[in-house]
Amino acid sequence: MNKTENPLSKIVIVGGGTSGWIAAATLAHGFKNSDLEIELVESEQIGTIGVGEATIPSLLIVLNSLGINLDDFIKETQGSFKLGIQFEDWYAKGDSYFHPFGSIGKPIAGFDFFQCWLKSKAEGDPTPLMAHSPEYVLSERNKFFLPFEARNTPLERIFYALHLDSTLAGKYLRKFAENLGVKRTEGLIKSVAQNEEGYIESVTLDDNSQISGDFFIDCSGFKGLLIEQTLNAGYDDWSHYLPCNRAVTVQTEKTGETKPYTVSTAKEAGWTWRIPLQHRTGNGYVFCSKYISDEEATKTLLDSVEGKPLTEPRIIPFTTGLRKKAWYKNCLALGLAQGFLEPLESTAIHLVTRTLAFFIRMFPDKSCHQQLQDEFNRRVRVDYEEIRDFLVLHYCTTKREDTEFWRWCQQMKIPTSLERKIDFYKVSGGLIPGTEELFQPTSWYAILMGMQVMPERYNPALDTLDANKLSSILSQGKQGLIQIAESQPSHDEFLEKYCRAKMP
Ligand code: FAD
């Protein structure tokens, strides 16, 4: 086995939004002891999309692997903590449920906790599943916690993520990447040159300067300047499963306490988000233009926000789906250029970091071997399809009848992969964990229970467990959680003490 004879010597990243700067930071850090040159080109004239402010716990693993100090990152991005998502009015108007990060409960006598809870429920215990989620019990009380004081308590196994100001996060990552030697070039790309085989050779800017490279990462946003406009990779449109195709966004003044979770509220033709930051709140309405106009959606959003608007409402059109080939020839598409799944579970930034991890796992040399491309594209698609199915679950289980949009959701044709999962759950009360799946069974249970999809029965093997003993274990666990949660500081107290941002 030999060292490659034709290693990549220069990667050009096109685009300086969140995905461009995450790519620059990750590659610069990963290849800091090599001769790999990285140049990022972006255009202030075009700007970035400026949304993408809720994340999932995987971001913290990435920040940690880059050696970024979390407190510092939170201060610089006006961030706050996120323990999960509160879903309002999804099952029916007036109903609400919570999707916490992390796991719910711990196995009892070797049995899966969810099965234990189902058995206890069948025996008459009315305690909701969420009473056993540390993330939910804290969220309900607007608390956050001190990790070093929570050793040997149920908070030890808690998962959390961040809310962050996306523009500030971009700035932070830019500084980080530039310090590691990434070259940033300002300029509008007006043409792309390819060789005879279609591989990209260089991009030309509006001042006629040329930037050449061996490999190109397309982070140019929805249009996919390289992957689509140059290489015509093609796009699989998934609007038949997830028909929302526009969002209207507005930033508002901060009001009240900083909630340690995102709020998602179902509206007449989609749903709104509320993301609490230290200095302001991010709001948006994701909707389907077939059922509501931009003007009506904007009015609905403005009527539902809590603080005074700080920005003009902005409409963002999108098409849900995935590029047919996220890696094609010597071009990798990342972020919005790669695909789009509505931000219901805040998965876009995760997909950027996950894609980069796959790319490094299958890192090419100049030949960009076809097998690497094929396996990479297959793996990225598996992730997108898994998340797509999870998002569809939120819609297809609704019982709302009040608008045409929700009536459509009730009778929509769902992906076969999702149908199989729900059918298995209904007969067994369980789900089979996938090997590398993002959403583990507890996440699915949270949505299924929240949307009141009950299985026919619990696993009969649990009949070996004594019902009274089980009930007492569950009750103790629940009380223990309440006790420890009550003794934690409020989310705002926690931010004040450790992560208060500098004034803008
Ligand atoms: P952009 O931010 O659009 O950046 C594109 C870059 O390409 C810019 O720097 C631009 O200047 C450059 N560029 C384009 N054309 C040229 C050219 N010709 N020459 C030079 N430069 C060029 N994600 C989450 O994880 N959580 C969320 O809560 C979330 N909410 C979202 C809500 C909405 C409504 C939308 C639409 C997206 C949301 N996302 C969310 C996704 C998230 O916003 C994106 O994944 C993230 O911002 C990355 O965007 P990007 O960097 O790919 O593209």
Query: DSSP H helical segments within 148-239, as ranges?
Result: 166-179
pLDDT of residue 146: 75
Span 72-83, pLDDT tens digits: 999 999 999 999
What letter does residue 221 receive in the DSSP assignment?
-
Span 206-218, pLDDT tens digits: 999 999 999 999 9
> Is residue 111 in a domain?
no
Which of 420, 320, 325, 319 has its CA nearest to residue 378?
325
Span 43-58, pLDDT tens digits: 999 999 989 899 999 9
CA of 334 to the centre of ligand 1 (A): 10
> Is residue 414 in a domain?
no
pLDDT of residue 502: 58
> Is residue 125 in a domain?
no
Backbone dihedral angles phi then psi of residue 85, each to the nearest 5 degrees: -130, 135
Span 424-482, pLDDT tens digits: 999 999 987 777 789 989 999 999 999 999 999 999 999 999 999 999 999 999 999 99
pLDDT of residue 4: 86
Task: Report the residue among 12, 18, 323, 356 best suited for mutation to probe ligand 1: largest number of ligand atoms under 8 A from its CB.
Answer: 18
Residue with the nearest Cα to atom 21 of ligand 1? 42
Ligand 1 atom nearest to CA at 318: 36
Neighbours of 430 (CB within 10 A): 18
pLDDT of residue 151: 78
Span 97-148, pLDDT tens digits: 999 999 899 999 999 999 999 999 999 999 999 999 999 999 999 999 877 7
Say how far apart CA 374 and CA 117 lie, in whole Å: 42
Across the range 364-390, mean pLDDT stands at: 97
> Is residue 4 in a domain?
no
Ligand 1 atom nearest to CA at 18: 51
Residue-by-residue DSSP string for 396-461: HT----SSHHHHHHHHPPPPHHHHHHHHHHHHHS--PPPSS-SS-HHHHHHHHHHTT---S---GG
Ligand 1 atom nearest to CA at 347: 25
* Angle at which helices 18-30 and 58-65 cross, to 10°: 40
Span 2-24, pLDDT tens digits: 888 899 999 999 999 999 999 99
pLDDT of residue 434: 74
pLDDT of residue 491: 96
Across the range 250-273, mean pLDDT stands at: 97
Q: Alpha carbon of 46 to those of 84, 143, 284: distances in Å?
A: 33, 40, 22
- pLDDT band at 157, cuts 50/70/90? confident
**How many domains does the chain divide into?**
1
> Is residue 265 in a domain?
no
pLDDT of residue 452: 97
Ligand 1 atom nearest to CA at 349: 25
Greater confidence, 171 or 433?
A: 171
- What CATH number is attached to the domain comprising 364? 3.50.50.60
Give ligand 1 pocket residues (Cβ under 6 A): 15-20, 41-43, 46-49, 51-55, 166, 188-189, 219-221, 225, 247, 284, 316, 318, 335-337, 343, 346, 348-349
Across the range 37-48, mean pLDDT stands at: 97
pLDDT of residue 483: 94
CA of 18 to the centre of ligand 1 (A): 6
Across the range 62-86, mean pLDDT stands at: 95
Share of the chain above pLDDT 90, in %: 91
Identify whether the C-beta of residue 238 lies closer than 8 Å to the C-beta of residue 418: no
Is a pLDDT exceeding 60 seen at residue 373? yes
pLDDT of residue 501: 62
Is a pLDDT exceeding 90 seen at residue 150? no
Domain assignment of residue 368, given as a range: 10-79+165-236+321-386
- pLDDT band at 504, cuts 50/70/90? very low
> Is residue 409 in a domain?
no
pLDDT of residue 432: 76
> Is residue 48 in a domain?
yes
Beta strands 331-333 and 327-328, pairing class:
antiparallel
pLDDT of residue 295: 98
Say how far apart CA 174 and CA 167 lie, in whole Å: 11
Angle at 59 between CA 499 and CA 336, to 5 degrees: 120
> Is residue 446 in a domain?
no
- Average pLDDT, whole number, for the chain? 95
pLDDT of residue 183: 98
Across the range 161-170, mean pLDDT stands at: 96
Across the range 411-424, mean pLDDT stands at: 95
Across the range 236-264, mean pLDDT stands at: 97
